[in-house]
Structure 1
Amino acid sequence: MTEMTTDIGTGTAARVEDLHRQYGRGTAAVRALRGVSVAFVPGTFTAVMGPSGSGKTTLLHCLAGMDRPTRGSVWWGDAEVSRLPERRLAQLRRSRVGFVFQAFNLMPAMTVAQNVELPGRLAGKRPDRGQVLDALARVGLAGRERHRPGQLSGGQQQRVAIARALVSRPQVLFADEPTGALDRATGHEVLALLRSGVDRDGGTCVMVTHDPVAAGYADRVLLLADGVVVDEFDRPTTARVVERLSRLGGGAR
């Protein structure tokens, strides 16, 4: 299996250069990432896949500023963020990137609108009601702003999470198994929303997924194994993703 290195250029929405992430020390050390260099250009949708332990979630968390690399650099546009103090990184993260989790991570005691407003409030900003309502309308939840998460279906809760991620108009949207807790039909609706954010709004989306069907919504697939990028290809189809994954062994997880 040949290790690949993706050329890094200017004009990227996000990129990492020679990224390493190690957990633990000595004989117990785990090298989750081993020199990954990859770029994500504006207006593209990338699916990151690989077997269990391949480093795909670690890569996503480092890209999103939720984990610190052991070595290497992370860039959002022209800003290197991997060495920023934690407080400055948190401020920049709230304005530059959005994150969608598999488990939604909504506050059950808050209304839908309050959940969407929450990142802005944490950043000390007065929420713009019009932007909140617009974000909810974009994900098909107009008129649901006063509901609480428990009154919504799983798919609707994930739509709230997407609206929360989009309300700040992020440079990049990161999604970690966004359809993992949803049935197939609802998952397709969520993937169509992510796809629309790229096609209609020119956004950039990076998604970790184990599902070859979900990867078919992307423009490009990156395959990781043992902490390195071992393959990548454009215009994925479900069949093509399954065939490439079979070369790695062990399926997509």
Structure 2
Amino acid sequence: MAETATHTGTQTAVRAQDLHREYGRGTAAVRALRGVSVDLSPGTFTAVMGPSGSGKTTLLHCLAGMDRPTRGSVRWGGTEVSRLPERRLAELRRGRVGFVFQAFNLMPAMTVEQNVELPGRLAGERPGREQVREALARVGLAGRERYRPGQLSGGQQQRVAIARALVSHPEVLFADEPTGALDRSTGREILDLLRAGVDQEGQTCVMVTHDPVAAAYADRVLLLADGLLVDELVRPTAAQVGERLSRLGG
């Protein structure tokens, strides 16, 4: 059983060491993570998989600074983030990481352009119009700036969500089931977009998914079970992912 997955080399985009995450206390406590360590290299695409309740979403949230580990540490580059004050952590999140979720979380009354710039505006750092349009062009939505979410397909709405995550040029993009609400064809378009960000832009991407086809887009697949990192696959096929996942009960 492997509880540590590391790459050789000195640079890491994200490093987790001995992560534990418990919810509740005493006999009712749930141990979502039980000593997970992992290094994620810059410019790589990593998928995180496992059965329901394996800890994969908890791991993503701890890596992304959205949840704090009970024990252990998380580093973004050379910065230890797991014990930072909330205000400082929020500042780092805005500048260094981006988030994409299964639910698009777009504001229906706002235009596409306004949705992309919204997080910056809320933080008092409104991005410039050219910066917003560059992000939309990058996801194939040039010319749709004035549309509203209701005028777009589900795949196009997810592209807006990705543009919103990319507008600040984050070092790492975290994606939680980004294709879960999409049909297979549209989901593949989104996965192609994430893959292109890694290959062409040097983006680091970390994605939780339950879909072996989606996981096969990654350079590396981490498999969790019962809060432990139990296996790692490198550039696997969808069939290889599915076979290994089935042995875990996923």
Give the distance between the partners of 1:140 and 1:124, measured in 2 at CA: 27
| Unaligned 5+ runs, structure 1 | none
Give the distance between the partners of 2:6 and 2:162, measured in 1 at CA: 30
Match of 2:213 in 1: 213
Match of 1:38 in 2: 38
Match of 1:80 in 2: 80
1:74-113 equivalences under 5 Å are: 74-113=74-113
Give the distance between the partners of 1:128 and 1:135, measured in 2 at CA: 11
| Unaligned 5+ runs, structure 2 | none
Q: CA deviation at 1:247?
A: 1.8
Conserved? CA contact 2:6–2:40, under 8 Å: no
Q: CA deviation at 1:4?
A: 2.4
Amino acid of the residue matched to residue 167 of structure 2? V
* SS of 1:84 mapped into structure 2: coil
| TM-score, normalising length: structure 1 | 0.96
Amino acid of the residue matched to residue 3 of structure 2? M
1:1-253 equivalences under 5 Å are: 2-7=1-6, 10-249=10-249, 251=250
Conserved? CA contact 2:173–2:205, under 8 Å: yes
| TM-score, normalising length: structure 2 | 0.97
Deviations for 1:9-62, whole angstroms, at most 9, x for unmatched residues? 631111111101000001110000011000110110011000000000000001
Amino acid of the residue matched to residue 73 of structure 1? S
Give the distance between the partners of 1:37 and 1:214, measured in 2 at CA: 23
Conserved? CA contact 2:3–2:35, under 8 Å: no
Give the distance between the partners of 2:232 and 2:97, measured in 1 at CA: 24
Large movers: runs of 4+ above 3 Å = 7-10
Deviations for 1:197-252, whole angstroms, at most 9, x for unmatched residues? 00000110000000000011100000000001000010111111011112212x2x
Deviations for 1:94-123, whole angstroms, at most 9, x for unmatched residues? 100000000011111211111110121122
Aligned length: 249
Amino acid of the residue matched to residue 111 of structure 1? T
Deviations for 1:135-193, whole angstroms, at most 9, x for unmatched residues? 00111111111111111111000000000001111110000000000000000000000
Amino acid of the residue matched to residue 107 of structure 1? M
Q: CA deviation at 1:79?
A: 0.7
Give the distance between the partners of 1:187 and 1:246, measured in 2 at CA: 22
* SS of 1:200 mapped into structure 2: helix
Give the distance between the partners of 2:187 and 2:134, measured in 1 at CA: 22
